Amino acid sequence: MGLKLSRRQFVGSTTALSLMAIIPRGLLAASSSAQKVVVRSDAEIGAVRPEFHGHFAEHLGACVYGGLWVGKKSPIPNIDGYRKQSVEYLKELGVPVLRWPGGCYADDYHWRDGVGPVEQRPKRVNIHWGGYVEDGSFGTHEFIGLCRLLGAEPYLAGNVGSGSPRELRDWIEYCNMPSGSTLAEERIKNGAAEPFRVRYWGVGNENWGCGGWMRPEVYANLYRQFSVYIREYGGIEPFLVASGPNGNDRRWTRGFMDTLDGGVPGGLSMHYYEGGPDRSTEFSADHMSQQLSIFKKVEDAVVEQRAILDGYRDGRKVGLILDEWGVWDKIPEADEKRYGKLWMQSTMRSAVAAGLGLNIFNRLADKLFMCNIAQIVNVLQSLLLTDGPEGKSCIRTTTYHAFALFKPHRSKTAVRVETQDASPLGVSVSASKAGEELVITLVNPRHDADVELDCTIWNACNTFENPNSVVLQSQPVKMEAARLRMELPRLSVATVILKTE
């Protein structure tokens, strides 16, 4: 594959370079038909915000309980109750921002159930995800403690569906008021002398669905009402995120913005899942192609939703946030019974899906503010898997490694790329630059390019028996003047970092 990178020469232009790639062990690179990709290093798009690599943790299955939190008395190795291996893996990757407690769970969650002495916290039924009894042992303080361990910015989703403006207003004061007020002193009494300084606040979640099954005009009026009572405490101006559309629902966005009539939120969240009819390890080639093709619709949706917002007075001030995205496969009851609700394996196809999404965020860096994959541990397209809530094993998934390949893009400036094949399954490319460094990530979503692909390779994944079946590997690259040549195997994600003179 030839890549015209820029007019400038690269260091070691005629020597062999290397890149890191996700390729299942034992996969041989096949020869491929030549395709040209042009990287316009002088055509800047915008900053690749670290928040594009944000994450989401909901009280669902074994995401929080058993995935992130095992309790201080657990035999599972832990750091003050947080699963030690999860913390170590996530710190290694870097978590820019973490959204909690939902999801659907947020609009039936009352924050006071999760503060104060653990033994006195009420037990509540999780009506959305399995009807199990929640003991409240992981609440606001525990979530902030996790964020501090990971170095993540906290993003709290407030309750609009079954809550009140007073409840959300009090939660913000409890978190951010340094001292003096009754709520601040209560936080201090509960063990947090320093304020939590939470900036990101969701005003409800999926209020078109599990958050109240509302019409956009009804939700907009509630948003207006809630926003009146939200204030700055301790110098932290709340960044309010309104509940946006399901996929590319233009009617919802227009209905919300028309009713709002000024006083725009800091952000508008949209959710877009790439669903599939098969189990994550038993999909057909056709279904895989159909699922990966959805990412083109995601890209189009971001462009259209951004255009809708920009058409309103002050609409350009609203950050577009994709705070739930990722593949959602058919999940067997046996897996849920063994590992927890919505527990899903992550295969090479999942890594390719992650790469397609993250490339979109780079290419649309001027249109997005934040993105949060669903979810961080055990649920849907997760970065980590544990062998059940009580299991001691914790492994990194293929999606984890895909995120690792995109880490070099963070805080750089995205630049434009041109490809020959603009079809949904064409080679996906994004690039970014900073100083003398240019980062290019390429994704090949085709399973049938040049060689016949064996089904076991499509389904390559990291299991508890073989946790390193899919890892980052070196891939040969050759530089010739200002051209880079490399082989991009089928179903692969690769990142190359080039130093410019």
Tokens found for residue 347: 């295969």
Q: Which of 142, 274, 324, 487 is catalytic?
A: 324
Beta strands in 11-90 (DSSP E): 16-24, 36-47, 54-56, 78-79, 82-83
Interacting residues of 288 by C-beta distance below 8 A, sequence separation 6+? 276, 349, 447, 458
* DSSP label of 39: E
Catalytic residue flag (residue 304):
no
Q: How many CB atoms lie within 10 A of CB 476?
A: 12
Q: How many CB atoms lie within 10 A of CB 85?
A: 18
Beta bridge partners of 268: 242, 320
Q: How far apart are CA 429 and CA 340, in angstroms?
A: 35
Contact 343, 291 (CB under 8 A): no
Q: Which of 206, 274, 299, 487 is catalytic?
A: 206
Backbone angles phi, psi at 437, to 5 degrees: -120, 135
Q: How far apart are CA 116 and CA 140, in angstroms?
A: 10
Q: How far apart are CA 46 and CA 414, in angstroms?
A: 6
Q: How far apart are CA 13 and CA 479, in angstroms?
A: 5
Contact 466, 406 (CB under 8 A): no
Q: How many CB atoms lie within 10 A of CB 326?
A: 23
Contact 369, 321 (CB under 8 A): yes
Q: How far apart are CA 501 and CA 497, in angstroms?
A: 13
Closest by CA to 2, choosing from 500, 460, 477, is 477
Distances, alpha carbon 419 to alpha carbons 37, 188, 422, in Å? 5, 56, 7
Catalytic residue flag (residue 436):
no
253: amino acid identity, one letter:
T
Backbone angles phi, psi at 184, to 5 degrees: -65, -40
Tokens found for residue 401: 């490694």
Catalytic residues: 206, 324
